Amino acid sequence: MPGNFLAAASPEDYTLPMEERKSVSAYRAVMGKLEETGRYFAFLGEIARQAVKPPYRLYLLVEQLECIGVNSVFIIFLSSLAIGMIFALQMVTHLQPFQAEIGTGAAVRMSLGREFAPVITSLMLIAKDGSAMAAELGTMRVTEQIDALESMSVNVTQYLVVPRVVASILAFPALTLLANVIGVAGAYFISTGLYGIDKASYLHFMFTVMSVKDVYSGLIKAALMGFVVSSVCCNVGLSSSGGAKGVGVGATKAVVISSVAILIGDYLLTTLMMVTIFK
């Protein structure tokens, strides 16, 4: 606290008593966070405005779809396969004493569709692509490449941010759907291969209990999470300063903020869906 206060203090503050200095420091910290939040929402408005304005650079969108979507298939495959297999191991172990292990597939499918697939996919993409967005845009900021674009009358939000945001909104649900399929397949192989559960009964019970609401609720979450992740990471990247160290700090900040926002947003969306879609 003293270090943060001294960094933000003005010469007049040193004449104040220590308790008043701490109050001033806390006030400035709160106001700084509120100002940062306000700039972020203004940034969202700018994204929405620029997304519908020509020119439409589809080649930039395709490039980002390849980077965020296609190049992330392998890591999503591995992570969702591991989640499905681990969850199946846990469920079979807990359901066996009740002779209810046939319900493993239904439990894994429902959990993946509603919660695990969108959240795990988003967290993995934050680590892979969100940090890259923040670092790339931060590097362009501190090396004055963005200033060069602005000097050529290129709208930075439209040229650099909108393709990343739109690509994330499209790629996150597609990868979440892949995570659902691979996770359920991993649980199937563990349940039927390792524990010898009857395959026909396993699949019949899973598809009987299965609801399309479980799938599209997770896809809705994934699209919203893609928007939040990309917008937060781009905003932090464009706000970077202070050379290489500032870029590193910005990338770390983007990952932390995005991850926390995803978890909080998942709770809020789940609460909303429980009283609407799943009511």
Task: Check if the beta carbon of residue 105 is closer than 8 Å to that of residue 229.
Answer: no
168 pLDDT more than 60: yes
Confidence of residue 137 (pLDDT cuts 50, 70, 90): very high
Average pLDDT over all residues of the chain:
89
Share of the chain above pLDDT 90, in %: 65
Q: What is the pLDDT of residue 7?
A: 45
Please give the span between the terminal C-alpha atoms of the chain, in angstroms, as a whole number.
47
pLDDT in tens, 244-267: 899 999 999 999 999 999 999 999
Count the neighbouring beta carbons within 10 Å of the beta carbon of residue 41.
Answer: 10
pLDDT in tens, 58-68: 999 999 999 99
Among 80, 104, 108, residue whose Cα is nearest residue 93: 104
Q: For 70-75, what is the mean pLDDT? A: 95
CA distance 275 to 131: 34
Question: Running DSSP on this structure, what letter comes out for residue 194?
Answer: I
Q: What is the pLDDT of residue 24?
A: 74
C-alpha to C-alpha distances, 253 to 190, 258, 265, nearest whole angstrom: 38, 8, 18
Q: For 260-278, what is the mean pLDDT? A: 91
Q: What pTM, to 2 d.p., does this model score?
A: 0.88
Q: For 37-51, what is the mean pLDDT? A: 93
Longest CA span, the chain? 79
Task: Check if the beta carbon of residue 225 is closer than 8 Å to that of residue 120.
Answer: no
Q: What is the pLDDT of residue 10?
A: 56
pLDDT in tens, 191-231: 999 888 889 988 989 888 888 888 999 999 999 999 999 99
